[in-house]
Amino acid sequence: MDDLMNFLLENDIADISEEVIISKRVPMKFGIRPMTKNQHADFIKRCRLRNGEFDDAKFQTIVCLDCTEKPNFRDAQAIAKAGVITGEELLTKTLLPGEISALHAKICALSGFDTDINEDVEMAKN
């Protein structure tokens, strides 16, 4: 077995998490984790509209709900305290649209979607 495979086996993706700040308005850290391949496929499926279009806002919301560990936007006590019915409503009641977008971007980056492979190849060549 080569070094790369050993590295991959020793660095389980299930153990990845990060704490991030998403805006100046909310100076506390959010706990996030990456999407799994199956989650990503499920999220895409759930956001595909009947006419074939894709609901970007719904995708952002689902990603934020399922991949944010702290705070838990599905917490029943928090939902009740906010006077809403769902986690989606709690998310949109407590965060500004740009903050939701920033949180989504951080989760996507942690999930590997921010990597420019061409840039990485050039760096490795040098």
Q: Pull the structure tokens for residue 106.
A: 């951080």
In the numeric block, which tokens belong to residue 73?
């936007």
Using one digit for the tens of pLDDT, what is the confidence trace for 48-99? 999 989 999 999 999 999 999 999 999 999 999 999 999 999 999 999 999 9
Which residue's structure tokens are 């919301």?
61
For the chain, domains (ranges, CATH) are 15-113 (3.30.2220.30)
> For residue 64, what are its two tokens?
């934020």
Q: Quick check: 126 pLDDT over 50?
A: no
| % of the chain beyond a pLDDT of 70 | 90
**CA-to-CA separations, 19 to 38, 69, 103, in angstroms, rounded:** 23, 10, 11
Give the confidence band of 119 by pLDDT, cuts at 50, 70, 90.
Answer: low
- Model confidence pLDDT, tens digit, residues 11-48: 888 889 999 999 999 999 999 999 999 999 999 999 99
pLDDT value at position 115?
63
